[in-house]
Amino acid sequence: MQNKNNRLEEPKSESKYRAKIRGSMQHRLDKYRERSNANIERGLARTINLKDYKSEFLSKDEPETVGRVFMNGLLLDNPVLFNALGAVLIVGVCSTVQNAVLLSLLVLVLLIVNEFMASLFYKNAPPEIRLMAHVLTAALVLLPAGAVAINANATALNSFGIYLPLLCVSGLVTVRSEVFAIKHTLKLSMADALGNGAGFAWVAILIGAARELLSFGSVAGYPITGKVFGAGINYPFATFLMIGFLAALLKHLRRRHYQKNADAQTPSEEVQSDD
Amino acid sequence: MTEIGRIISYALVLVFAENILFSRGLGSDVVLRLSVNPKDFFRFGIILTTATMISSVIGWGFSAVVSLLNVDIANPSLRLLLRTLVYLICLSALYVAFDRFMNKHFETRYSRFRKAMPIAIFNTAVLGAPAILARMEIALANTANLNGFLAALFVGAFVSIGFLIAVALMSEGIKQIESMDLPYAFSGLPARFIYIGLLAMAFSAISGRQADF
């Protein structure tokens, strides 16, 4: 039987053999819990097959600096292309550059506020409640932010449809707050929020520009060519395919970047002549 | 018989043509990150599907209460945001009550699901189901004679079935992808994105849409 602290209860009198069995069971229970928590920290679902690029390219001793955290969010560990966070928003909303820019600004505001709150106030909350807290914080921030955005451009924001309220349950905001901000200082959390916001923004604007160009022959409202592919390119399948190929390209470039750095750091062997 | 035919056609539309994952991308942020372990998929998929169905019914109840209060806000997006905020507060309160109840009375069994519950409840698929119901309510009432609670249950059930089918297809596909010898750049998430794109293309063909290339 387990007591309130999830430890196996010690009976009042037991043999050495039983004590040994109980000890090994406790050890197994602790290891299981540790593994479960590690899986949760890796991304809230058991993403066994999504390898963390840091384990592949970086050594464990490298310290996390503001610049590194920002670059991770922007490029090296892009939330959309390497972690599938926020893809639903790009699929549903980013059919034009204008929509993409507006969405990116809203996401940035939500990320900054959520990671701020998570880093300062939510560290000691139970894990089951924390995600709910992130969602409610995002919803409370989205209401005034959405009102300001509606005042600025009501037509664009109305075209978001059902995807506007989904910003608060989007994985980008909740997962970054839970996986990063909870475990790091305020400075690093703000760098992470800015990095991930910028990383989301460039992907969203690129996809929005491509979709607008292919559907309407224009970019940001300026006509470039005539109508090319028609409205078919605005379906979700086209966006998923675009994101997939963009992710492959960035993954290839990232590997080349780290291989070049690794080659530059290894000293070349000089052949010494015997003359 | 005409009504039964319409109900069946609406059900097929909700499961295939307007599939919540492939036609709107809802829930893709969770599904793309799913593990291919069959136990995880089964548990998580069932919880997610049940949460989607219940959310649709709760959304209907919530809409009925809001319409009684007669809150008048001109801009539809602002109205939607305000309703979402209040809806999330209600959903959070229900989740906390459910969590406390299950942890107190069924701790051993519930501990297997407990860690997956927050992700399964607070995601885009669960929040999107009431929105889909809101869009289909009038059509269901006029043509298939389904209104109120029945319409909510109908939409919730078939949206969830469609989502479960989508999750099953994704899980099987991801398993195959992980065992393939792909080029490094395409291994992992890029292959999953391309796979979900191809499935979405197939489902959009089922709906009879044609791209005017």
- Cβ contacts of A158 on chain B, cutoff 8 Å: 75-77
Which helix (H) or strand (E) segment holds residue B181: the answer is none
pLDDT surpassing 90 at residue A269? no
Query: Per residue in A122-167, pLDDT tens?
Result: 888 887 788 888 988 998 898 888 888 888 877 877 788 888 888 8
Query: Per residue in A243-253, pLDDT tens?
Result: 999 999 999 99
Query: Per residue in B29-57, pLDDT tens?
Result: 878 876 556 566 667 777 777 777 777 77
Nearest to B29 among A84, A132, A240 (CB): A84
For residues B133-156, give the mean pLDDT: 71
Query: Per residue in B90-107, pLDDT tens?
Result: 788 888 888 888 888 887
| A190: confidence class by pLDDT, cuts 50, 70, 90 | very high
pLDDT surpassing 60 at residue B6? yes
- Is B196's Cβ below 8 Å from some Cβ in A? yes
How far is B137 from B119, CA to CA, in rounded Å? 28
- Cβ contacts of A139 on chain B, cutoff 8 Å: 84-85, 88-89
At B35, phi and psi to the nearest 5? -75, 155
Q: What region, left, alpha or beta, does residue A19 occupy, with left being phi > 0 and alpha being psi -120 to 50 degrees?
A: alpha
* Per-residue model confidence (pLDDT) at position B194: 94
Would the CB atoms of B204 and A157 count as touching at under 8 Å? no
- Is B76's Cβ below 8 Å from some Cβ in A? yes
Stretch 66-95 of chain A: residues touching chain B, C-beta under 8 Å: 81-88, 91-92
| B213: confidence class by pLDDT, cuts 50, 70, 90 | very low
| A104: confidence class by pLDDT, cuts 50, 70, 90 | very high
Question: ipTM of the assembly?
Answer: 0.85
Query: Per residue in A31-62, pLDDT tens?
Result: 777 766 665 555 444 444 445 555 556 555 66
Would the CB atoms of A44 and B213 count as touching at under 8 Å? no
What share of chain A in percent tops pLDDT 70?
76
* Per-residue model confidence (pLDDT) at position A188: 92
Would the CB atoms of A160 and B77 count as touching at under 8 Å? yes
* Per-residue model confidence (pLDDT) at position A90: 93
Residue found by looking up tokens 């701790």 in the block: B107
* pTM (two decimals): 0.80
Please state the three-class secondary structure of chain A as a single string.
Answer: CECCCCCECCCCCCCHHHHHHHHHHHHHHHHHHHHHHHHHHCCCCCCCCCCCHHHHHCCCCCCCCHHHHHHHHHHHCCCCCCCCCCHHHHHHHCCCHHHHHHHHHHHHHHHHHHHHHHHHHCCCCCHHHHHHHHHHHHHHHHHHHHHHHHHHCHHHHHCCHHHCHHHHHCHHHHHHHHHCHHHCCHHHHHHHHHHHHHHHHHHHHHHHHHHHHHHHCEECCEECCCCCCCHHHHCHHHHHHHHHHHHHHHHHHHHHHHHHHHHHHCCCCCCCCCC
Residue found by looking up tokens 């590997």 in the block: A255
pLDDT surpassing 70 at residue A265? no
**Average pLDDT in chain B:** 77
